[in-house]
Amino acid sequence: MALVLATQAPGEPEIFASIQGEGPSAGMPVAFVRLSRCNLACVWCDTAYTWHFEGDNRPHRSGESFERKANQIEMDEEEVARRIAALGRDRLVITGGEPLLQAGKLAVMLEHLPDMQVEIETNGTIDPPARLDIRVDQYNVSPKLAHSGNPADLALKPEMLDRWATDERAVFKFVIAEPGDVDEVLALVRTHAIPPRRVFLMPEGTDSETLREREKWLVDICLEHGFRLSDRQHIHLFGDTRGT
């Protein structure tokens, strides 16, 4: 068994220490591990190197495809855990790609990190098995809206949205590009009884100018509906780069 990770450079897994840039843990010092592969294909995805490999005809706005061999690496779960522990952090963010595609192997990895606080970034379409679920402190669930380019029947599964709405560990982080995207969020919040205090609106963008411009009008929307605003601190600090 082995986890399939994204790479910072060919042959170098994307395991690093930084601050969490998004959601309720923003600003916290954490360890990150980024896994490869995704079951969705967002046209604006800022980590397309985890899934948009040569031969994948799903659309991405960059038009770029990535060589799989240079952008994926397999590593034993215990070795991944060892590298994470060596970073000296007490909180781990597991991101992707879609991490829950490798849920069983993640559970094995986390059994080697029993004292680690764990948060998982997920698109919310996959139900984590119990062996993994018991080791997770926080789920950052980011359901993909229509502007992501994903068909709703793949990206917005009603039974899974209900599952996350009833899990107090789960926060909902919606990526917003235009004010009209919020109408879709409001419909999901109503249909699935999602508590507004657990809803974050986050601007789509990979540069500071775009993020700041969209945050200006997102503030009023958050005030009106009792939602929370999420910045993308890592973009302001490091730009749109790997390993940050």
**What does the chain look like in DSSP terms, one character per residue?**
--EEEEEEETTEE-EEEEE--SGGGTT-EEEEEEB---S---TT-TTGGGT-BTT--S--TT---B-HHHHEEEE-HHHHHHHHHHTT-SEEEEESS-GGGGHHHHHHHHTT-TT-EEEEEE-S-SPPPHHHHTT-SEEEE----GGGT--HHHH--HHHHHHHHT-TTEEEEEEESSTTHHHHHHHHHHHTT--GGGEEEEE--SSHHHHHHHHHHHHHHHHHHT-EE---HHHHHH-S-TT-
**Pick from 235, 225, 233: which is nearest to 200 by CA?**
225
The two structure tokens encoding residue 87: 């970073």
Structure token digits, residue 167: 């899990």
* pLDDT in single tens digits along all 244 residues of the chain: 799 999 999 999 999 999 999 999 999 999 999 999 999 999 999 999 999 999 999 999 999 999 999 999 999 999 999 999 999 999 999 999 999 999 999 999 999 999 999 999 999 999 999 999 999 999 999 999 999 999 999 999 999 999 999 999 999 999 999 999 999 999 999 999 999 999 999 999 999 999 999 999 999 999 999 999 999 999 999 999 999 9
Task: Please state the domain extents for the chain.
Answer: 3-173
Here the tokens at position 109 are 């990895």
Q: What is the pLDDT of residues 79-102, one digit of tens each?
A: 999 999 999 999 999 999 999 999
Q: Whole-prediction pTM value?
A: 0.97
The pLDDT assigned to 227 comes to: 98
DSSP per residue, 61-78 = TT---B-HHHHEEEE-HH
**Selection from 216, 136, 215 nearest residue 168 by Cα:** 136
Rounded to whole angstroms, how far apart are CA atoms 140 and 22? Answer: 9
Mean pLDDT of the chain: 97
Whether domain 3-173 has CATH 3.40.1130:
no
